[in-house]
Amino acid sequence: MPPTILALHNELVQGHTTSVALTEAALARIDDAGGEGPRAFTKVYRDQALASARASDLLRAAGLARSPLDGLPISIKDLFDVAGETTLAGSRVLEGAAPAREHALIVQRLINAGAVVVGRTNMSEFAFSGVGLNPHYGTPSSPWDRATGRIPGGSSSGAGVSVADGMAVAAIGTDTGGSVRIPSAFCALAGFKPTAARIPTRGALPLSWTLDSIGPLAASVQCCAILDAVLAAEPYQALAAPPVKGLRLASVSDIALQGADDHVAGTYRETLRTLQRQGAQVDEIDLPEFRQLPHINRLGGLTGAESWAWHRGLLADRADAYDPRVSTRIARGKNMSAADYIDVQRARPHWIAGVENRLRGYDALLMPTVPVTAPPIADLLASDDTYFAANGLILRNPTYINFLDGCALSIPCHAPGSAPVGLMIAGCAHHDRRILETGLALEAALAAGRA
C-alpha cells in the first residue's frame, strides 16, 4: 500500500524527509526504464516540480505550511488545462490547438495548497472508456500480475498506476461513469467520486457536462477526504468514523453481481460477512431503477448526446485521428434527436427520486465497484467484441451512481496477494461527508477482519 498523505506530511513536519527528496524519488520512478512511467504519463514537469519542491521546503523551514498536501508529488489527468499548454486529453486530435490561457481551477487550487504537480497522466482518449487502453500513448498495466499485463481501468488509467507505483502520492482524475473508481479498484487504491456540483469543472475538457465529476485516487479514505477538501476549496476537517456496529448498509448483489467472476463474487460476499461479524446491519434490497437504466440510456444517454455535441466538428474534420473504438461510441449521439435528449433529462429526476426513496434510512449502498478482475490488455487489443463487452460490464455498476448524481468511494476489499477487488460505498447527492466517514469505518473494519 502506498504511504498516506498524513504519514508523509508528518515525516516532512518532523524533518525526516524533504519535499525535494520525495519529488526526486517520484521522478526517478517515472523515469525507470523498466517501469510504467512512459505509459502512465503523457508529460512530466521535472524542472517545475523540483522548483516547487524547493519552495515548499523553504516555506516549511520558515514555519509556513499551506496544507497537508504541501510538498507532496501529485499527478493530474491529461484533460485539465495547464496555462500555456494544449490540453490533449489522451488524443492526437487536438495537437496544434490553442494553448490554455490559465490553469484549470482545480489545478490552481492544488498549486495554492502547495502540491507538487509532477505531470499529466495518460487516459482513455477523451475519457470515453472504462478500460484504459490508449492506442496513441500506450497503455500502462495495473500493478497486479504485471507478467500478464492487465488493464489499469479507465478512463483515469495513468492516474491509478502513478499512485500504485509510487510515481505520485495521489492523483486527480475525472469520473463520468466510473473513471476514478474503476482504476482505483484495479490498482488497489481508494478513489472518491464526489457529488458532481461540489468540484468546479472549469478548465477540464468535458465528456458529459451533466455527469462529469472530479475526484482523487490515493492510498486511503482519509487521503481522499484531504484532496476532496482542497478541490472543493473547503477547510479540511478530520473525518470521524462512526462505529461499525449499528451501521445500516444496503446491498444490491443481484444486479451488481450479474456477469461477475468467481473471485469478485466470493470476495464481495466475504466482505459483507466481515462487516456483519463486526456488527453492521447489511440488508439485501431491490433497486428496480437500476434495471431500468439501460432502457433510459438505450440511444446513447446523456454522455452520447453531450459528447457528440462537443466532438461533432472535430469528427467531421479529423475522424481518422481518433481511436475508432472511441469515435464509434461518440457517433451514437449523432442519431439522438433533441426530443431523445429531453426524454433522458426528464426521466432522470423521477429515477433519482425512486432510488433515494429506497435508500432512505441507510448509511450507504454497497456493491462491487467492478464485477470482474482486470482482464489482460492483449485480449482487449485483439478483439473489438471482447473490448466492448468488457467495457460495458466494467462501467455498469459505477454508472448507476453517476446517473443518481450521487457520491461514492471505492476501497480495496480483497485478501492480500489476490487480485484487486473494489468495494463501492455509495450515497445520494450531497451525502459526501457521510460516505467518506462511513468509508473510513468500513476501511478499518476490513483491515481488522484481515488481521
Residues identified as active-site: 77, 155, 179
Give CA–CA dist 414/144, Å, rounded: 12
- Using alpha carbons, select from 426, 411, 432 the residue that is nearest to residue 359: 426
Q: Report the SS3 class of residue 215.
A: strand
Q: What is the DSSP letter of 13?
A: H
| Sign (positive or negative) of CA dihedral 190, 196, 198, 203 | positive
- 281-284 vs 248-251, strand pairing mode: parallel
Measured distance CA(264)–CA(371) in Å, rounded: 6
- What Å distances lie between residue 332 and 311, 316, 339, CA to CA? 12, 14, 15
| Short-list 215, 206, 208, 221, CA closest to 180 | 215
Cell of 5: 498523505
DSSP-derived secondary structure for 370-415: SSSPPPBHHHHHH-HHHHHHHHHHHHHHHHHHHHTT-EEEEEE-SP
CA–CA dist 430, 194 (Å, integer): 8
The H or E element spanning position 117 is strand 116-121
Cα 377 to Cα 146: distance, rounded to the nearest angstrom: 11
Q: What distances in angstroms separate CA 302 from CA 161, 202, 310, 346, 430, one per listed residue?
A: 29, 19, 12, 11, 21
Angle between helical axes of 5-13 and 19-31 (0-180°, round to 10): 130
Asked whether the beta carbons of 332 and 299 are under 8 A apart, the reply is yes
Give me the helix-helix angle, 432-450 and 221-231, nearest 10°. 160
Contact 93, 321 (CB under 8 A): yes
- Contact (Cβ atoms closer than 8 angstroms) between residue 272 and residue 366: yes
CB 45 within 8 Å of CB 59:
no
